[in-house]
Structure 1
Amino acid sequence: MFVDKTVKDFISILSSKEPVPGGGGAAALAGAIGNALGSMVGNLTVGKEKYKDVEPEVIEILNKAKELQENLLSLIDEDAQVFSEVAKAYKLPKNTEEERKQKEEALKNALKNACQVPIKIMENSLEALKLQRRLAEIGSKLAISDVGVGALLLKAAVLSGKLNVVINLNGIDDEEFVRKISEYIERICKEAENLADEAYKIVLEKLKG
């Protein structure tokens, strides 16, 4: 379980020749860290007299963020698992016509399945960005810079997730599937970029003000 490694050990494996964890696991971790920064700001906001009017909303944000945090952390190891399935499919023999067809089918299914994990990373990071965008407005000003950092990390997680989807799509010979997934991830990226940029702008203005 990569998620149970120390930070130092995880980075060491990530930088090695080992195929996993890779970009997908790194994207999930970036999303989890970004989301956690939002939770920190939320926790620093709750209980403060100055923010009592927004406390119920912040508590709701914290509850949602906790679920997203669990999802993103679990996706670190899920990404490694689906990559292993793709690797197995690539190693299948293709000495006969029957073997070639079986390998093509196995690879197509493995690649389609491998698309799902980075899509989940993108989806969960987008949901976390929605929370971050709101925290930029109502979170404790004492820690507001952390909302900006969190938003940037979540934006990176979404765009990184896209790269991991695209590399799998490149090996799939199913035009309709590729088209639908491509359109879907583009929508997620557009929304995520807008939210992150808005959150960053709000944070920067508050810091300067």
Structure 2
Amino acid sequence: MLRELTINDFTSVLGEGKATPGGGAAAALSASLAAALTSMVFNLTIDKKAAKDYPESVVTSMKEAREATDRFRNRYLKLMVDDAESFDGLMAAFSLPKETEEEKAQRKSSIDSAKERVLEIPYQLVKESFEMYDALKIATEYGNKNAISDAGVAAILIHSAIEGAALNVFINLAGSEVNEENISLKAQTDDYVEKSKSFKEDIVATVIDKIYGRQ
């Protein structure tokens, strides 16, 4: 199972030239790394000297955000596996026999279902990665300044995950029927990418200001 591989083994498998794992799984891993880094920032802040002057409401917000990042980390790893499995499922559907009319109908139904799944997973990753920004903003504003660069790296990674997953949405849409639903899906994905880019740039700018004592 992908999530049980060592880093060395995962990158080796990723580079083998097989269809899976691919960019979608790599994007999901990027999101999981972003969640882990954000959690690290909270763990270096909560119950530490860095948070001693914070009001209880801020500490509570950080604790809730930390819990969210832990959930996200595991969810993104699941989506990493789902992405690879969904594409494997599509390839299996294309390999089904098509000698009889009944087989052709069954094959088409399987391919259609598999295509829906292959499109659904990266879009889920786009949406759920975007949800990380709430926690990231809290980490950037209140996180231990000695770890603030890690919040910036997390922002870069989560945006990378969103852009990467979006590319998978687009390539799957390119091979799908042009209809209102798919047009809407493309527009929604574009919107997530643009908003993510803005959020990422704001967080990185804030991090740089804090590094140089401008905030």
- Normalised TM-score (structure 2): 0.90
* Counterpart contact for 1:119–1:162, Cα < 8 Å: yes
Provide the C-alpha distance between the structure 2 equivalents of 1:197 and 1:93, rounded to a whole number of angstroms: 50
* Counterpart contact for 1:82–1:113, Cα < 8 Å: yes
Are residues 1:27 and 2:27 paired? yes
**Which residue number corresponds to residue 18 of structure 1?**
18
- Kindly state the Cα deviation for residue 186 of structure 1 after the two structures are TM-superposed: 1.5
**Secondary structure of the structure 2 residue equivalent to 1:20:** coil
Are residues 1:36 and 2:36 paired? yes
Are residues 1:147 and 2:151 paired? yes
**Which residue number corresponds to residue 7 of structure 1?**
7
- Kindly state the Cα deviation for residue 151 of structure 1 after the two structures are TM-superposed: 0.4
Are residues 1:62 and 2:71 paired? no
- Kindly state the Cα deviation for residue 100 of structure 1 after the two structures are TM-superposed: 5.2
After superposition, give the CA deviation of every residue in 1:35-94 in whole Å (9 maximum; x if it has no partner): 111110010000124424232211111011111111001111111110011112222355
Runs of 4+ in 1 over 6 A off after TM superposition: none
Q: 1:119 to 1:87 in 2, by over 3 A?
A: same
Q: 1:92 to 1:177 in 2, by over 3 A?
A: farther
- Kindly state the Cα deviation for residue 105 of structure 1 after the two structures are TM-superposed: 4.1
Are residues 1:83 and 2:87 paired? yes
Aligned residues: 209
Are residues 1:201 and 2:205 paired? yes
Provide the C-alpha distance between the structure 2 equivalents of 1:81 and 1:208, rounded to a whole number of angstroms: 45
* Counterpart contact for 2:62–2:138, Cα < 8 Å: no
- Kindly state the Cα deviation for residue 174 of structure 1 after the two structures are TM-superposed: 4.6
Q: 1:95 to 1:177 in 2, by over 3 A?
A: farther
**Secondary structure of the structure 2 residue equivalent to 1:45:** coil
* Counterpart contact for 1:112–1:168, Cα < 8 Å: no
- Kindly state the Cα deviation for residue 96 of structure 1 after the two structures are TM-superposed: 6.5
The alignment's C-alpha RMSD in Å is 1.7
Letter in 2 for 1:164: N
- Kindly state the Cα deviation for residue 133 of structure 1 after the two structures are TM-superposed: 2.1
**Which residue number corresponds to residue 187 of structure 2?**
183
Provide the C-alpha distance between the structure 1 equivalents of 2:212 and 2:26, rounded to a whole number of angstroms: 32
**Which residue number corresponds to residue 158 of structure 1?**
162
Structure 2 portions without partners, runs of 5+ = none
Letter in 2 for 1:203: V
* Counterpart contact for 1:37–1:150, Cα < 8 Å: yes
- Kindly state the Cα deviation for residue 198 of structure 1 after the two structures are TM-superposed: 0.9
Which shifted more, 123-132 or 157-166?
Answer: 123-132
1:136 is matched with which residue: 136, 140, 146? Answer: 140
- Kindly state the Cα deviation for residue 130 of structure 1 after the two structures are TM-superposed: 2.4
Identity across the alignment (%): 32
* Counterpart contact for 1:39–1:65, Cα < 8 Å: yes
Structure 1 portions without partners, runs of 5+ = none
Provide the C-alpha distance between the structure 2 equivalents of 1:176 and 1:96, rounded to a whole number of angstroms: 33
Provide the C-alpha distance between the structure 2 equivalents of 1:130 and 1:140, rounded to a whole number of angstroms: 17
Provide the C-alpha distance between the structure 2 equivalents of 1:198 and 1:63, rounded to a whole number of angstroms: 24
